[in-house]
Structure 1
Amino acid sequence: MGARTAAAVLIGRAVRVAARLRGGGSAIPGATALKVDPGFLARTISAIPDGVVAVSGSNGKSTTTNMLAAIVRAHGLKVFTNPSGGNLPQGIASALLADVSVSGRLDADIAVLEVDEGYGPRLAGLLKPRTVLLLNIQIDQLNRYHEPDRVATMLATVAASATDGLILNREDNFLVDIDERIPAREGRRVSWFGGAPALVEAAGHGVATADRFDSPSTSKERPASVEVVALDGVHATLALGDTQVVVRLPARGMHYALDAAAAAATAKSVLGDRFQPELVALALDALETVYGRGEMLEIDGEQVEIIMMKNPASLQLNLDALDATPEQVFLAVDEGTPDPSWIYDIDFSRLDHVDGITGSKAWQFAVRFGYLGMPVGEVDLDVRRAVKRFLALPPPSTGHKVMILNYELMMSIRKVLGFKELEGGGA
C-alpha cells in the first residue's frame, strides 16, 4: 500500500507539472493518481484530525468554501481545501498532490471541501464528513439533473452523512426542513443561516431558490445561527447571536451575503467555544475573490469585471446586483451551457445593449436580445478575435468593462488574457 501511494503521488505530481506547463487539465493529475492508487483520496482524507467539512448546493460552493477556509484559518487551524472547481474526486485528489507527502501524509488539522451535488452521495461515502453545509437548490443544469427534486434527494444523502453538524439555508424551501426528512443521528447538531425578511423580500428576484410544491414546512420558525441584517454594496452586516460584524463581500448581491452567513454559521458550528466573531470580519476583509465570481482583472491598465453565469439563478442574481447599467458589456457562452433556452425566463432589464457576443451559443443569445429589442454590437464565433475586439474599445466614460461568461469560456478566456492559474492547483 505504501509503495502504491508513493507511486500515485510521484506520478500524479509529474502529470501535474506537465499540465501546469500546458496551462490546463487540473483534474488529470488527480485522475492519474487515483488510477495508480484507488484508495489514495479516502485514506489520506480520513487521517485528518478534525475531519471533513463538506460544502454543497447549486450555487455559491466555491465562494463559500473559500470564505469558510479563511475563517477557520484565522482561528489558527491548518486547513486543506480544494480550489474552485475541483469538486469531483479527481479534482480533490489533484489538490491533495500539491500538499501531501510521498507517504500520503497531509499536514492539516481540518479539510474544508467543495462537493459537487451530483457526486455528493459518492463523495460523502468516500470523505465521511463530520459537518455538512448545504447552500441552496436552484434551477441548474437541466440536462444533467432534470428536476430540483432530484438534487434535493442527492443532497439529503449528503446531509445524512454528517455526524457532528448540519448547516442549512433557512431561505430555501427544499433545505429548511431537510433535517426532518433524513434519519436522525445522535449527537448531530442542526443550525441555520439566513437573511432578515426585509432584505430577502427586497432582492429583485428573491434569492432564486427553486420552488417546492409538496407543502414544505417553511412557516415553521428556524432560528438563524447567523443572519444577514444589513447590506450596503459589497459590505454586509452579520448578526451572530448578540454580536454583529461588518464583512466585505467578494461582489455585490444578497447571494454573496448569504454565502458569508453560511460560512460564518459553519465555522461557528465546527469551532464551538473556540469561535470568535471578530475573526470572521478579519478573514473576509482580507480574502481574495474566487476567480470568475465578481472578479476584477486589470488588463492593459483597465479594470474589467468578470461575472460567471452557470445557470439561470447565477445569471439573474448577478444581473440584479449590478450597480448600474454597464456602458460596455460582453457575453460568451459555449457548449458548457448545452441548452440555454432558459434565457427566455431571465429578466435582462439591467442591460440596455450588448457590445459583443461569442461562443458556440452566441446566436441563441443574440436571438433572445432581438426579441427584447436590445441592440447587439457584433456576434463573432471566434472567441479570441471577439475578446480582442471588445477589449480594444475605448475605456467607458463611467464604470468599467463587464464580461459575462459561462464557466468553460471563463476559464479559457482568462488563459487568453494571460491568467493561467489552474483550478485544483496550488503551490
Structure 2
Amino acid sequence: MSIRTTAAVLVGRAVRVAARLRGGGSAIPGAVALRIDPGFLERTIAAIPDGVVAVSGSNGKSTTTNMLAAIVRAHGLAVFTNPSGGNLPQGIASALLSEVSTSGRLKADIAVLEIDEGYGTRLAELLKPKTVLLLNIQIDQLNRYHEPDRVAAMLGRVAAASTDGLVLNREDNFLVDLDAQIPARPGRAVSFFGGLPELVLPAGHGVASADRFGEAAASPGSREAAVQVVALDGARATLAIAPVDDHRDGGANREPVEVVVKLPSRGLHYALDAAGAAAAARSVLGERFRPELVASALDALATVYGRGELLEVEGERIEIIMMKNPASLQLNLDSLESAPEQVFLAVDEGTPDPSWIYDIDFSALDHVDGITGSKAWQFAVRFGYLGIPVGSVDLDVRAALKAFLALPKPASGHKVMILNYEQMMDIRKILGFKELEGGGAS
C-alpha cells in the first residue's frame, strides 16, 4: 500500500464531500488526487482484470457509456464507469474516489469509460483500452477542435490503441473506413453498427456526419453491421443483433436476433447510441453475450443528466434537451414530434462562439417563450431573422427561469428547455437537482 495513494484517496474524498455540499459537480477532487499521486489513475485502472472499453466521439458519449455499462452489468460483470460526463483524466479520477479502497484497489471486472476527444490520445496511453467504441465525428466546438479532420486524426490514434476490439459507426463519413486508415493489429476484431437505409436516408439532416474531403475506402452505410437499427417508434427502437458464433464472419451465417429497447428520448441519434452500445457489448463479451439482456438492461436504465431527461418540478414535467454543438442541437430539434407548446433557451459562455446557429434549421420551433444566458441576444437576433416570435429575453437566469415556470401548464405535452451544458448544470441546481457531475461534457 502506498502512503501517497492513501493520502490522494482520503484528501480527494474530503474535497468531493465539500463539492457535494456546495451543490454541484466538479473535477477538482480528481485533480487534487492526481496532484498528490500522479500515477493514481493509471495504476488503478491497469489492475482491472478485463481491462478498459473506451467510448468516444463528438456526441452521445455519456449516453452510450451509460447504456454499455448497464448491458455489461446485466451479464454479471462488475463495472467501473464514469457515467456523468467526467471524461477528462481528473473527471475519471473523481469517479474513482467513491469506489476505490484507501489503498487504491477497485472492485471491478471491467471499466467502461467515456473519454474526451481532445484528451483521447493521452488517455489511450494511460488507460490502454482493449476495446474502443467510436460513435461519430460531427461539427463540434470550433474553438477546441477546429476542423473535423483534426478530430478524425485524434480518434484514429485512440482506435489504433485498441488491442481486442474496435467498434465503429458505419453511417459516419469518417468512421466507415477508419479500420483501413490505422495500422492493423493481429487479434483485433473490427465490427460496425448502423441503421437501415430506410431510416437513415429520410432523416431530415441525416445523422449529421461532418463532410469529408478526399476519397474514402468505403461509403457510409456500406459495411456489414453487427447491430442495426431496423425500426424506430418514438422512444423505442428495434435492434437486429447478429449472433456471436464466429468472429470471422460476425455471425452472418445465422439470422440476427431482434430486440426492442427503450431509448432516453426520441430520435435516430439515440437509437444509434443504443446500437453502438450493444455492438460494443457483443464485441467485449463474445460468446457470453445475450441479446435479450440488452433490452432488459436499457429498459431499467436511468437517463444521464440533460440527455433527454424529464424532471418533475412542482407537479410539472420539464424535458431537458442539452445542446453542445451544431449536430446535437440539430438532431434534437429534428426529433421533436411537434413544435413544443412552451420552450425556453439558455446559453452562456460555455458556447463561446454561437455563430453556427445560422446553419441550424429551426423549423421545428414556431416560437420561443424565453431566452436567457450571456449569449441570449445572439439567439434572439437569429430568431428575429427567421420570423420566430420570442416572448422575452432576460440575461438574469433566475428571473427568466421563474417567469418560464410561472407559465400555465401546457394544454398538451410538457415544458421544454434547450440548454447548453453549463446552463443545464446551473439550472438543474436552481431547480433543486444537485447530484454530483464529473468534469467534462458530452
**TM-score category, normalised to shorter length:** over 0.9
Q: Is the 8 A contact 2:349 2:374 kept in 1?
A: yes
| 1:351 maps onto 2:356 in alignment | no
Residue 153 (structure 1) aligns with? 153
- Within 5 Å, give how 1:274-313 maps onto structure 2: 274-313=288-327
Is the Cα–Cα contact under 8 Å of residues 42 and 127 in structure 2 kept in the other structure?
Answer: yes
Secondary structure at the aligned position of 1:204 is classed as: coil
Q: Which runs of 5+ in 2 are unaligned?
A: 243-255
Structure 1, residues 398-424: CA drift from partner, whole Å, max 9, x if none? 111000000000000000000001113
347, 355, 372: which one pairs with 1:333? 347
What's the counterpart of residue 176 of structure 1? 176
Correspondence 1:390-405 to 2 at 5 A: 390-405=404-419
CA–CA distance in 1 between the matches of 2:352 and 2:391? Answer: 24
Stretch deviating more after TM superposition (173-182 or 410-419): 173-182
Question: Which secondary structure does the structure 2 equivalent of 1:308 belong to?
Answer: strand
Q: Shift of residue 86 of structure 1?
A: 0.2
Confirm whether residue 86 of structure 1 aligns to residue 86 of structure 2.
Answer: yes
| Residue identity matched to 2:146 | H
Map residues 192-271 of structure 1 onto 2, 5 A cutoff.
192-219=192-219, 221-241=222-242, 242-271=256-285
How far 1:215 sits from its partner (Å)? 1.4
Residue deviations 1:348-385, cap 9 Å, x none?
A: 00100000000000000000000001110000000011
TM-score, with structure 2 as normaliser: 0.95
Deviation of the 1:26 alpha carbon:
1.9
Give 1:88-103 correspondences, 5 Å limit.
Answer: 88-103=88-103
SS in 2 for 1:124: helix
Letter of the aligned partner of 2:68 in structure 1? L
2:145 and 2:37 map into 1 onto residues whose CA distance is: 30
Contact preservation (8 Å) 2:173, 2:219: no
Q: Is contact 2:176–2:219 with CA below 8 Å preserved after alignment? A: no
Q: How far apart are 1:216 and its partner, in Å? A: 1.4
Residues 45-60 of structure 1: pairs in structure 2 closer than 5 A: 45-60=45-60
TM-score normalised per structure 1 = 0.98
Moved more, 405-414 or 21-30: 21-30
What are the Cα deviations for residues 298-330 of structure 1, in whole angstroms up to 9, with x where unaligned? 000001100000000000000000111101000
* 8 Å contact from structure 2 (residues 139, 325) kept in 1: yes
- 1:200-257 Cα offsets, whole Å, 9 max, x none, are 0121110001010111123383110000000010010000022000001000000000
Instruction: Report the secondary structure of 1:252's partner residue.
Output: coil
The number of residue pairs the alignment matches comes to 425
User: What secondary structure does 2:341 align onto?
Assistant: coil
SS in 2 for 1:326: coil
- Which stretch shows the higher mean deviation, 212-221 or 132-141? 212-221
Contact 2:136–2:172 (CA under 8 A) maintained in structure 1: yes
Deviation at 1:391, TM superposition (A): 0.4
Show the counterpart of 1:70.
Answer: 70
Do 2:82 and 2:113's aligned partners in 1 also have CA atoms closer than 8 Å?
yes
Instruction: Quote the RMSD (CA, aligned, Å).
Output: 0.9
| C-alpha distance in structure 1 between counterparts of 2:20 and 2:308, whole Å | 25
Equivalent position amino acid for 2:83 in 1: P
Give the Å deviation of 1:172.
0.4
- More displaced, 280-289 or 19-28? 19-28
Using the TM superposition, name which of 195-204 and 55-64 deviates more. Answer: 195-204
**Higher RCO (C-alpha under 8 Å, 6+ residues apart):** 2
Q: Distance in 2 between matches of 1:165 and 1:211?
A: 26
- SS at 1:216 equivalent: coil
How far does the alpha carbon of each residue in 1:128-159 deviate from its partner, in whole angstroms, 9 at most, with x for none?
00000000000000011110000000000000
The 4+ residue runs of structure 1 with deviation greater than 2 A are 217-221
- Asked if structure 1 preserves the Cα contact closer than 8 Å seen for 2:78 and 2:109, the reply is yes
Q: Residue by residue, what CA displacement relative to the aligned partner does 1:145-186 show, whole Å, maximum 9, x if unpaired? A: 110000000000000000000000000010111111111111
> Are the counterparts in 1 of residues 369 and 404 from structure 2 also a CA contact under 8 Å?
yes
Identity, % of aligned positions: 80
Tell me the equivalent position of 1:389.
403
Structure 2 counterpart of 1:230, one-letter code = A
Contact 2:25/2:435, CA 8 A, preserved across alignment: no
Structure 2: distance between partners of 1:21 and 1:93: 19
Q: Does 1:126 align with 2:116?
A: no
Once the 2 structures are TM-superposed, how far is the Cα of residue 25 of structure 1 from its aligned partner?
4.3
